[in-house]
Homo-oligomer: A and B are copies of this chain.
Amino acid sequence: MIQKLPDFQSAREITDTWLNVFLQPKNDLTARITEAMRYSAVSEGKAFRPFLILTIGKMLKCPPEITGQLAAAVEMIHTYSLIHDDLPAMDNDAMRRGKPSNHIQFDEATAILAGDALLTKGIEVISTLPVPAPKRCRLIAELTKAIGDKGMIGGQMIDLIGEKQPLSLSEIQQMQTLKTGELIAFSCKAPCYIAPLCSPAKRVALTRFGYAIGHLFQITDDLLDLYGKTETVGKTIGKDEKSHKSTMVARLGQEKIRLKMREYSQTAQEALTAFGKKKVADLEVLIAYIVNREK
């Protein structure tokens, strides 16, 4: 049987359509910053977070032009984190999504500013979404918490500390929850605020689903870093080991990590039982994909 794949392609196209609206090329002196923002945001990335927003948005009957804009906003914010993560002072990575990292293609100063500008623009887009203001505020409040010093940035801080001192298993887990889990969980629950009707119980279920696939995604990311090939994965391979990074895979070993993966994938599947079986088909395809992904 051929494994069904998530339709990342459509998510990418919808996201790029909106990114092209929000990041129009300029021809004044500030043109370079927009160019650098576009270089990394309108890309070959698999649009994982936009896929979640669009798929769950569709499931909850959200207006597609609103989830489309939200998807573009979140993709800008994810891209900002990648650009800053790749900087020489951080992970020092010259390759991303199959092409030179932003600071290699442009320069370090431009990359720092492009990251800053993508974060700023992503929030600007949400602040003007065509939904009632209380919903926009709620989205921004939840998002900024998810990506702030107690969320994504906090996770990156722990990641950096982990290069200098060994982290315990629970510390690694906390790091991953913050570094990638929070924004993925936000992407899963955000459509609830846009949907005409979504019970708090369903939002809780989608949040749990988000954290579970976030962990799953992170583990497969680490596995790919250990066993993948640069040309397939599209970024430098083996860098965790080289930088002595504390990963769950390194800590638990191959066998135990497979058990962990099963655990997370079960949690994700169970969370989806709050919805009709037919409705969650695309999300079940996603779980299977993450478990088996090669890039």
User: Interface of A with B (CB < 8 Å)?
Assistant: 29-30, 32-34, 37, 80, 84, 87, 89-90, 107-110, 112-113, 115-117, 119-121, 123-124, 127-128, 132-134, 136-137, 140-141, 144-145, 147-150, 153-158, 160-161, 167, 171, 174-175, 178
Contacts and interface: CB of A to CB of B under 8 A. Distances in A.
Contact of A149 (B30, B89, B147, B148): B30
Given A29-B167, A29-B174, A127-B137, 15 more contacts: A29-B171, A29-B175, A30-B150, A30-B178, A32-B161, A33-B149, A80-B116, A84-B112, A84-B116, A115-B116, A116-B116, A120-B148, A123-B123, A127-B144, A137-B137
Contacts of A141: 124, 127-128
A199 B150 CA distance: 39
A117 B37 CA distance: 19
Contacts of A144: 120-121, 123-124, 127
B148 A124 contact: yes
A140 B129 CA distance: 12
Contacts of A89: 107-109, 112
Contacts of A30: 149-150, 154-155, 157-158, 178
B145 A124 contact: yes
A117 B33 contact: no
Nearest to A135: B133
Q: Can you tell how many copies of this chain the complex includes?
A: 2
- The A contact surface, by secondary structure, is helix
Nearest to A31: B157
Contacts of A127: 137, 140-141, 144
A33 B121 contact: no
B160 A109 contact: yes
Contacts of A161: 29, 32
Contacts of A109: 87, 89-90, 160
